[in-house]
Amino acid sequence: MNIVTASSQIAYCLTEGTEIHDEGQGIVVVSPFFQVAISPLGPGLKQVFSGLAQSPCSMRWINATIDAAHEEGMLMTCYRYLSSLMRHQMCHISVISESSGEPLATLYPTSASFQHKWIHVQPEQLYRLSRFAYMHRGEDEECWLESPLSHALLTVQSKLVADLLYQLATARTPLELARMTGEGSLDTVADVLTLLLMGNFAAATTDDAQLAEEHDVALRQWEFHDLLFHSRSRGGRHSNPLGGTYRFLYELPAQPVIKPAPWPVTVQLPQPDMERIQRTDPTLSLAMEKRASIRTYNEEHPITKEQISEFLYRVAHIKDVYTYGESGELTRRPYPGGGASYELECYLTVDRCSGLAFGLYWYDPLKHTLSLVREPDNDTERLLIDAGQSMGEDSRPQVLITLAARFQRVSWKYQSIAYALILKDAGVFYATMYLVASAMNLAPCAIGAGDSDLFASLIGSDYYQETSVGEFALGSR
């Protein structure tokens, strides 16, 4: 049975901001982003598109209109044109309640790769929600169903559809779903399911009651949060603004270029002799060849305050502060940083170092000083133990460097990519630390994970404003 085409509840609607202009022989469809010209059009097709310009058009009405115009073979053409409008995000599809006339759910394409394909729902076939589908509240009052597997989003506009989504956590047939949801007739269930299938939010199960995505070797190895982060922070399958949009320019102040730290300066670090260093340093190729992760230290001669000073200066000191357009104040540093935002702060948990008292310090890259954030205690001990465990060795870092991001320094300017940029910046910082440590004959090792909640409480910051995004162990060889 082909439930879809029997339905009068599925309707095509023009998306807000899109207009259809009659151009005699054909039409021109205009949205804020695209323009699509369709010409020539027979009377049936013309009637369909002028209908669409006025109000939602049900599939049944579209089919009947083309049929009545005796335009043989034009039905496929009509849906091809509608596909083009969908791919240009000029048109969307709703399931509209026959009793109330209100939409139950609406599918909005979000990219040009959207597949406008009708999959015929079978009443006795099992269907299930993808493990990548999730619902959240949008900026307005609507509930959105989204998925990193989808090139569309679906607004959930009724309790009936919310119930169906809940039931589809388990594989169910449309017949079962119609019985369970009570008020939902089989036709309505099938209509909603067709939108879920078209949007790739749900699929028919295979013979073992699993979804194809569960057999897909690549997809099985993607965790939900990783794939969502990847798809939302790259272009391709969403229509969100992406890049340096300065969305808070006139609304919120930018974070200051230098962290206004609450801690007084504790240690004036010696200025390294950069001329001597430039004369005596190994070449870049030698430093790169020698570079290795080293997890054991020379405990007889632990790292010194002078070495830490030279290391921090060479990796992270501020060379210059300047002003650049809407970005405000920016800095120049030895390592590159996305948008020159330089949101990463460098904290040192000093455990064994000659010349520096134990404790947690913040590095001021402008003054080249250290400020004591807190004396050693159980929590700083926890940081060192965790780092030691991550390195899989008995020894723990002589000095643990924690990179913390002042997130809003980046998210004030960048949309969609802010956190991805921060992690890339952390990678750049790691590479710079590795190379400088290699040139200085120190023992460096990056660490892949840490406790950001613990770190925020240690430095007394708001987790959403500043906390750790990376850790790095350093010591003597």
Ligand X SMILES: Cc1cc2nc3c(=O)[nH]c(=O)nc-3n(C[C@H](O)[C@H](O)[C@H](O)COP(=O)(O)O)c2cc1C
Report the interface residues with ligand X, using CB under 6 A.
Answer: 292-293, 295, 390-392, 430, 445-448
Q: Are 395 and 474 in contact (CB under 8 A)?
A: no
Task: Give the nearest distance from C-beta 391 to ligand X in angstroms.
Answer: 4
Q: Are 345 and 261 in contact (CB under 8 A)?
A: no
Task: Give the nearest distance from C-beta 48 to ligand X in angstroms.
Answer: 55
The phi and psi torsions of 280 (rounded to 5 degrees) equal -105, -10
Task: Give the nearest distance from C-beta 445 to ligand X in angstroms.
Answer: 5
Task: Give the nearest distance from C-beta 421 to ligand X in angstroms.
Answer: 16
Closer by beta carbon to ligand X, 12 or else 430: 430
Task: Give the nearest distance from C-beta 293 to ligand X in angstroms.
Answer: 3
Task: Give the nearest distance from C-beta 448 to ligand X in angstroms.
Answer: 3
Closer by beta carbon to ligand X, 255 or else 390: 390
Closer by beta carbon to ligand X, 351 or else 364: 351
Closer by beta carbon to ligand X, 164 or else 445: 445
Which ranges in 319-405 belong to alpha helices (H)? 378-391
Closer by beta carbon to ligand X, 57 or else 439: 439
Closer by beta carbon to ligand X, 342 or else 434: 434
CA distance 248 to 40: 46
The number of helix segments (H) and strand segments (E) in the chain equals: 17, 23
Closer by beta carbon to ligand X, 53 or else 428: 428
CA distance 359 to 361: 6
Q: Are 31 and 17 in contact (CB under 8 A)?
A: yes
CA distance 446 to 430: 7
- Compute the half-sphere exposure of residue 386: CA atoms within 13 Å on the CB side of its CA: 21
The number of beta carbons lying within 10 Å of the beta carbon of residue 381 is: 13
- Residue whose beta carbon is closest to ligand X: 448
Q: Are 13 and 61 in contact (CB under 8 A)?
A: no
Lateral strand order in the sheet of 35-38: 19-23, 26-30, 35-38
Task: Give the nearest distance from C-beta 229 to ligand X in angstroms.
Answer: 16
